């Protein structure tokens, strides 16, 4: 079995509730294989964590989009994985507004900027999200944090 090409995902059991990928350098097709697996093989994921893995923005946005097939997803951690974060934030905004029970979103240690925060803030009032971790995103300025603070003031 060739693990570098992503074929391993088709062998994973459909009863897993948690998926953790740490410090992985995704090959050309591996991120695409993970997206396909998230759409088809995994059926009951409640928690997904990608830590310190390297892939292109488009690939991560595709993975986030694939998570929309998991309405039971409660927790998502994307830590030290995003470069600019805008494509991913757009995909996350869609996920937050459509995933019925997503409660925790950890986006720490990325390069999300004020524009990415604005994208997320637009989706959060319509979500079930209770925890949002944006720590160590050095590109977020006072303006971005003021945008987030506006969520706390909303009725």
Please check whether residue 59 is in contact with residue 77, taking contact to mean a CB–CB distance below 8 angstroms: no
Q: How many residues does the chain have?
A: 155
Q: Torsion angle, CA of 74/101/68/30, rounded to 10 degrees? A: 0
Please tell me the predicted confidence (pLDDT) of residue 47: 93
Q: pLDDT digit string (tens) for 20-61?
A: 888 887 776 788 888 888 887 777 889 999 998 888 778 899
| pLDDT over 50 at 153, yes or no | yes
Please tell me the predicted confidence (pLDDT) of residue 3: 45
Tell me what percent of the residues of the chain surpass a pLDDT of 70.
Answer: 86
Q: Is 90 left (phi over 0), alpha (psi -120 to 50) or beta?
A: alpha
Q: In terms of pLDDT, which residue wins out, 153 or 112?
A: 112
**Pairwise CA distance, residues 96 & 102, whole Å:** 7
| pLDDT over 80 at 8, yes or no | no
CA 67 to chain CA centroid, nearest Å: 8
Q: Which residue, 35, 40, 39, 75, is CA-closest to 56?
A: 35
Q: In terms of pLDDT, which residue wins out, 18 or 57?
A: 18
Residue 25 DSSP label = B
Please tell me the predicted confidence (pLDDT) of residue 138: 93
Please tell me the predicted confidence (pLDDT) of residue 56: 79
């Amino acid at each position: 079995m060739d693990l570098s090409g992503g074929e391993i995902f088709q062998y994973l059991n459909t009863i897993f509730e948690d998926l953790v990928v740490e410090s992985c350098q995704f090959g050309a097709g591996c991120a695409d294989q993970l997206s396909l697996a998230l759409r088809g093989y995994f059926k009951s994921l409640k928690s997904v964590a990608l830590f310190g893995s390297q892939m292109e923005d488009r690939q991560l946005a595709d993975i986030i989009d694939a998570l929309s097939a998991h309405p039971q997803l409660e927790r998502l951690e994307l830590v030290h994985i995003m470069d600019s974060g805008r494509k991913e934030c757009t995909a996350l905004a869609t996920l937050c507004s459509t995933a019925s029970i997503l409660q925790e979103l950890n986006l720490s240690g990325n390069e999300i900027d004020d524009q990415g925060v604005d994208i997320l803030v637009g989706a959060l009032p319509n979500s079930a999200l209770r925890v949002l971790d944006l720590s160590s995103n050095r590109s977020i300025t006072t303006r971005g944090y003021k945008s987030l603070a506006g969520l706390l003031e909303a009725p």
